[in-house]
Amino acid sequence: MTRLKRNAVYKLLERRSVDRTTGVTSDHNIEVVSGEKTLRLRRIGYRAPENGKRYEFLTNHFRLAPKTIADIYKERWRIEIFFREIKQNLRIKSFVGNTENAVLIQIYTALTVYLLLAYQKFLSRIGLSIQKLCQLIQLNLLGSASLEELLNPRRRKDENPYNLSLLDMTA
């Protein structure tokens, strides 16, 4: 499934009736010529109720309801945004092992760390990004301050002038 480009050239083969109350505006079978190949696809038009934007999707699923296809695309986009955030924040540059199991373990570990950081960010209600929170933990990894003391520097029991945190540097 993909979105239809504005300059795409296709031939309309069949129009299907749609229930416009679901946000679906059109359901067409089309034929697209790509080089020497001819592809028979389905084009779904959809208007998002949140912002009124119009989207067109191409798919090779002819049995699914058009609203289901639009919902799948919306969920797919949210998943892509989630993985883009993980890629930006966790920065997995290389893998220690090359086997499938080694790579999966490293990805699962990175996902676990990311989710724990996101949960801690939610609990602390502090205005740090997950990347800044990760930097804060890295800077104070060998220090004696707890995570609660790092996130709330004014609540520290014993003030140590040499115990720096990222929060002190950004204030």
Is the pLDDT assigned to residue 129 strictly greater than 60? yes
Q: What is the spatial distance between Cα 134 and Cα 113, in angstroms, rounded to a whole number?
A: 9
> For position 101, what pLDDT does the model report?
92
Highest mean pLDDT among 5-14, 56-65, 117-126: 56-65
Both tokens assigned to 155: 């609540």
> What residues does each domain of the chain span?
2-62, 91-170
Is residue 90 within 8 Å of residue 113, measured between CB atoms? Answer: yes
Name, in order, each residue with C-beta under 8 angstroms of 72's C-beta and a sequence gap of 6 or more: 1, 64
- Say if pTM beats, i.e. exceeds, 0.75: no
Q: Considering the chain, what is the average pLDDT of its residues?
A: 80
For residue 167, give the amino acid letter. L
> For position 165, what pLDDT does the model report?
53
The sheet with strand 37-47 has its strands ordered as: 2-3, 54-59, 37-47, 24-34, 10-15
Q: Tell me the sheet residues that pair with 88.
A: none
> For position 131, what pLDDT does the model report?
79
Is the pLDDT assigned to residue 65 strictly greater than 80? yes
Is the pLDDT assigned to residue 171 strictly greater than 50? no
Look at the block and give the residue holding tokens 């800077």: 139
**Residue 145 or residue 160, greater confidence:** 145
- DSSP-derived secondary structure for 47-111: E-TTT--EEEEEES--SS-HHHHHHHHHHHHHHHHHHHHHHHHH-----S--SHHHHHHHHHHHH
Is residue 76 within 8 Å of residue 83, measured between CB atoms? Answer: no
- DSSP code at position 13: E
Q: What is the spatial distance between Cα 28 and Cα 17, in angstroms, rounded to a whole number?
A: 9
Is residue 149 within 8 Å of residue 156, measured between CB atoms? Answer: yes
